[in-house]
Structures are given as structure tokens and as C-alpha cells.
Amino acid sequence: MAEIANKAAETARPAKAPKGPAQQASLPAAAPAAALQHAPRPAPQPKTPKPSVKDRLQPDSLKKEYQTLLHKLHERVFDAPREQLFFVPTKEPVALSSLTIASPNRAHGHDYRPVPCQIFDWALAQIGEDLSEFTFIDYGAGKGRALLLAAEHPFSVVAGVEFAAELHDNAQMNIAQYPRSKMRCRNVECFLEDAVQVGPPEGASVHFFFNPFSREVFAEVLNNIVMAYRIKPRRLYLIAVDPIATDLIDASGVFARVEPSQYDALKLKLLSPYEVAVYRSLA
């Protein structure tokens, strides 16, 4: 019986198939030594030459390196305490191409970048008047940093204009969550609108621009402000950080430049990575 069982098991076990040509062909063949020797090698990538000491000591190079240092100083030291107060972080730049914008002026907008907090304070300090009589308007409000820095001062109203839906939503969240103990003005609002379509308020106002759009759009916004002033003269201020069209302001016949004190001028010259221009209406 055991022999029959063993024979039955041997009969049931499948026989090993001999290795045929097809099976041998499926195995990877070793490359000939000659082919390995003559295989093309990838071309070496050219190395970017490091600037020489002479190049780095050129005035333009020194200025660029110093500005880079100033940007880091503001972001990591001056801005850090207030950046913690924002519900949605404001310090990261955002490319305009990634945002939802319905305005036909999309091509004239600039990428989002936050205004340095200290630069904002130094610029606003050049307005030596009672701010409770003024409305503050930020053109290109972004995530709301400048709006809430302004709200730390006793403005009657703080308003922002932003044409990118995502940035407007971020600003709304930051306004809602900003510590009320820090806000001397709590009448703060951001509007999802094109700046060209928004007219200035009727009373005294401060208009803030951190290079939010092209010269062409700035000219239209400035014209709206000038026309409203000519209809009803009142005290207006323009604050331009990293300005692109101060010549248009100078030529308006409505504004005169505010000269900072020697101390403020020195601070801006040594510690600001951006030019700052403040203008006051003639009335």
C-alpha cells in the first residue's frame, strides 16, 4: 500500500519542464564588456562661477547684499512679535498666478508680499495729526497685515481693497481673530474689489500703497483721489512704500511731499529695504 501511495504521489506531481529557448531568452542578457566601455557618459553640468571679490565689492552688489540683510532683519527680528498675532500667517509671499482674480486688471497686479511692520510704523509717524479724524485705506490689502497695523492706531475707520479672492478671505480671517486688546480702531473691513472701482471717502483720509499694481492702474486710482479732492478739498495723505510713480503724485498739483525729521530720515536710509514717500494735500 505504501509503495502504491508513493507512486501515486509521484504521478500527481507535475514534471519539471525542460528549459527551452523561450525561457532562456526571457532572462536579461549580460552586456558585453565592449558595450560598457563605449557607453556614452552624461555631459558634465557647467558650474556657476562664484562672483569674484572685485565683483562683490561693486556698489550695486554691496547694495543688493545689504538689502537682503535688511529683509532678513525685518522678517526675523522686527516683524516676529506681531506676526504671531495673525491667525493666517502674513509673512510668506504669494504669486499672483496662483490666485482667483475676476478683475480685468489682473495683468496689472503684483505678487503679494507683506510690508515690514517697522517700515509701516515709521511711515505713519510722519503724519503729525490726530488720526481719529482720518479714515485709513490700504490699496492691495493682501492678507490684512497693514490693515491691522493701522488698527493699532486711533483711526475712525480702517478699510482695505483687495481683488484676489484667497487673499481677501485671509484678510477677513485675520481681522476676525486679531486680539482686540491691540486694536485702537475696531471698525475694520476689507472689500473684495478692484481698486480702480473704489472712490475715496468724503472726509480726511490716509491712502496706503505698498506697490500693489502697475503704474497704469496707480494713475487711475490717483486720478480718482485727485478728482474727489478738487470737488471737495480736505486733508489727505498718501503713503507710498517702494513707490513706482512718485512723478505722477508730484505732477498732480494736489500733494506736497512731507519731509521726515533728520532722525526719521536716517532710520529709513539705514534700516529700510524700501524707499518710503509720504505726501500731504495742500488743503
CB atoms within 10 A of CB 224: 15
pTM confidence score: 0.80
For residue 143, what is its C-alpha cell? 492678507
Give the CATH fold of the 110-281 domain. Rossmann fold (3.40.50)
Query: Tens digits of per-residue pLDDT, 125-174?
Result: 999 999 999 999 999 999 999 999 999 999 999 999 999 999 999 999 99
Query: Tens digits of per-residue pLDDT, 81-107?
Result: 999 999 999 999 999 999 999 999 999
By C-alpha distance, which of 111, 89, 222, 214 is closest to 164? 111
3-state class (DSSP) for residue 225: helix
Question: Residue ranges per domain, the chain?
Answer: 110-281
d(CA 182, CA 169): 21
Q: Please report which confidence band the pLDDT of residue 4 belongs to, taking 50, 70 and 90 as the band edges.
A: very low
Query: Tens digits of per-residue pLDDT, 163-215?
Result: 999 999 999 999 999 999 999 999 999 999 999 999 999 999 999 999 999 99
Return all residues near 150 (Cβ < 8 A) that are at least 6 apart.
Answer: 120, 124, 136, 138, 158, 185, 206, 208
